[in-house]
């Protein structure tokens, strides 16, 4: 088996590359270990807590015990299915702030500033504003990826935005447009009531072409001959074989599995590879370093009236929602229920938002466990630019072993300050007049948790990953010792090999990572094809004129 391009991983970036390469007429073969994404657990947006907790669709990784979080091991889901993590995620669509990409450029990712990436965001999107306004000039209308807004029928969605305004924050009609900062509607990758994953948007249309093939197999390592990647060794049907790449191999296997595959192939920190008896091909100490993620807390309130989704949180209610969705594609099942959002700055002197809110009209956890109090609502809140950094390393030289994942969460004092501020700012929002008709009491942290020490205890026990790991094969200048790929996503020191997924982010972006991961796939496909790339667009984002002296 061989093709011009062999892509490892049918996830967010891999599917986008398969589509663009196939469209350009070259032959492309995508290797994916996971299986089909058919069935309501994945396709029904409201069922999002199921696939994330199912071994059928998830690699099942866990962090090592986190020393600053009381030794807890945190679940680290990654999609093991067609569409990758875009098939098991919360479907929230956030591009990131313009300044995030300018920062990438300034860190050595030449050609990845906001002016450079904006045209790719526009190319990939098919944006539907649903009559709610927004920045049409900043958005794309003809891409494969449908982006919509929830109906926001529940009164709590409006209360959240109104409370933000009452607390003195900005409002924004489109956080993916000119103005990220403020309270407003949240966007989702849902179309006609279905999860619009990278598989639905990109892979299925690509596979309709004769020059695109999907192979179900487990990638073991990249085969490198005389400094050049020539194929991928896979296990398929109990046999080990090599799938050959005539032009290039591209790893798009996630920020956990891409560095693992590089190390198994002899690319990584020399001493670490020697420990596991792996022959060195290229000494790149940055492989597996620079691991970043977003942590978040759920600030939960008990409701004084039955307005939340709790009335459906039983077998009969879920069956009703499921049946309505199955037969009509509508109703509560057709939304991820994240329909209002906010991006705010934590303090004066912060130039652009560093706190994100997802608002949910029920008090429930990602694993589907509802709060004992019954009716309630919650805000997911967390800092966007933690200074903590972790690592991904090999457990052994056996490709079947899970990687060792150490996030090193909350290892910087600034993280604790940021999180305490998040809790206090959220409480202030829930104290506004807009919530007065709905608030009964605070479920968690709980009204008695007030001092820094008490808040720190709550954070230690309850902070959860938002499932945004990235940065482990970071992009930078070829002479930067800790960079793994150059600005065209080529692995430094090896020919014919690239990495294109959230691994290459120099620093984590604001918000959820699915949109920027797909954008990476879109942009790298142009690099692979030797295209000029889309013309930069100099659109200036809105920055608060008072950012130096005011928090809002």
What does the block give as tokens for 156? Answer: 């709590």
Contact call for residues 386 and 294 (beta carbons, < 8 A)? yes
Strands 464-465 and 295-303: antiparallel
Neighbours of 546 (CB within 10 A): 11
* First vs last C-alpha separation in the chain: 58
In angstroms, the CA 197 to CA 301 distance is 32
DSSP codes, 397-442: S-TTSPPEEE--TT-SHHHHHHHHHHHHHHHHHHTSGGGTTTEEEE
What does the block give as tokens for 375? Answer: 């009716």
- Please indicate if the annotation marks 90 as binding a ligand: yes
Contact call for residues 547 and 170 (beta carbons, < 8 A)? no
Which residue, among 289, 258, 291, has the nearest Cα to 386 in the 3D structure? 291
Given 358, 468, 527, 531, the catalytic residue: 468
337 dihedral zone (left: phi>0; alpha: psi -120 to 50; beta): left
Contact call for residues 7 and 250 (beta carbons, < 8 A)? yes
- Please indicate if the annotation marks 91 as binding a ligand: yes
Catalytic residue status for 272: no
CA 71 centroid distance within chain:
25
**Three-class SS of residue 443?**
strand
In angstroms, the CA 191 to CA 412 distance is 40
Measured over the CA atoms of residue 538, residue 544, residue 548 and residue 552, the dihedral's sign is negative
CA 160 centroid distance within chain:
24
- Please indicate if the annotation marks 344 as binding a ligand: no
**Three-class SS of residue 374?**
coil
Altogether, the residues listed in the chain come to a count of 552
In angstroms, the CA 272 to CA 397 distance is 11
CA 284 centroid distance within chain:
25
What does the block give as tokens for 499? Answer: 């990495």
Active site residues: 468
Residue positions forming the annotated binding site: 81, 89-92
Residue positions forming the annotated binding site for FAD: 81, 89-92
């Amino acid at each position: 088996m061989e093709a011009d391009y062999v892509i490892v991983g049918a996830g967010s970036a891999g599917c986008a590359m398969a589509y663009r390469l196939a469209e350009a007429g070259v032959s492309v073969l995508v290797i994916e270990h996971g299986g089909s994404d058919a069935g309501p657990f994945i396709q029904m947006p409201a069922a999002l807590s199921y696939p994330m907790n199912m071994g059928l669709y998830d690699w099942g990784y866990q962090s090592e015990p986190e020393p600053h979080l009381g030794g807890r091991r945190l679940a680290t889901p990654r999609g093991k299915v067609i569409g990758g993590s875009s098939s098991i995620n919360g479907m929230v669509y956030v591009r990131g702030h313009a300044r995030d990409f300018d920062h990438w450029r300034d860190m050595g990712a030449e050609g990845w500033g906001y002016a450079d990436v904006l045209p790719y965001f526009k190319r990939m999107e098919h944006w539907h504003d649903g009559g709610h306004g927004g920045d049409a000039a900043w958005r794309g209308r003809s891409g494969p990826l449908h982006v919509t807004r929830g109906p926001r029928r529940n009164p709590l969605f409006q209360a959240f935005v109104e409370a933000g305004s009452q607390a003195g924050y900005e409002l924004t009609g489109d956080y993916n447009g000119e103005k990220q900062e403020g309270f407003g509607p949240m966007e989702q990758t849902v179309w006609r009531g279905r999860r619009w994953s990278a598989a639905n948007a990109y892979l299925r249309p690509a596979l309709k072409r004769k020059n695109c093939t999907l192979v179900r197999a487990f990638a073991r390592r990249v085969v490198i001959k005389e400094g050049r990647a020539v194929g991928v060794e896979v296990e398929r049907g109990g046999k080990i074989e090599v799938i050959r790449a005539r032009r290039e191999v591209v790893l798009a296997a996630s920020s956990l599995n891409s560095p693992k595959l590089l190390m198994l192939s002899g690319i990584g920190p020399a001493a670490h590879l020697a420990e596991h008896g792996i022959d060195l091909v290229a000494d790149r100490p940055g492989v597996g370093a620079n691991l970043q993620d977003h942590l978040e807390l759920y600030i939960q309130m008990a409701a004084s009236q039955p307005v939340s989704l709790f009335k459906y949180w039983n077998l009969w209610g879920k069956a009703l929602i499921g049946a309505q969705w199955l037969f009509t594609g509508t109703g509560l099942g057709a939304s991820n229920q994240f329909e209002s959002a906010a991006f705010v700055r934590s303090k004066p002197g912060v130039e652009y938002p560093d706190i994100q809110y997802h608002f949910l009209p029920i008090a429930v956890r990602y694993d589907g466990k509802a709060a004992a109090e019954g009716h309630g609502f919650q805000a997911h809140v967390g800092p966007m630019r933690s200074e903590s950094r972790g690592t991904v390393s090999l457990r052994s030289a056996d490709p079947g072993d899970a990687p060792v994942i150490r996030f090193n969460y909350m290892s910087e004092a600034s993280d604790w300050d940021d999180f305490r501020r998040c809790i206090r700012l959220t409480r202030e929002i829930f104290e506004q007049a807009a919530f007065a008709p709905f608030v009964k009491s605070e479920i968690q942290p709980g009204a008695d948790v007030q001092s820094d020490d008490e808040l720190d205890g709550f954070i230690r026990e309850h902070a959860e990953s938002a499932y945004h790991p990235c940065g482990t094969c970071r992009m930078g200048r070829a002479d930067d010792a800790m960079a793994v790929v150059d600005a065209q996503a080529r692995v430094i020191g090896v020919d014919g090999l690239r990495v294109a997924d959230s691994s290459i982010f120099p620093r984590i972006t604001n918000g959820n990572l699915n949109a920027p991961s797909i954008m990476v796939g879109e942009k790298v496909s142009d690099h692979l094809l030797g295209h000029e790339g889309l013309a930069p667009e100099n659109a200036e984002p809105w920055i608060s004129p008072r950012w130096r002296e005011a928090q809002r």
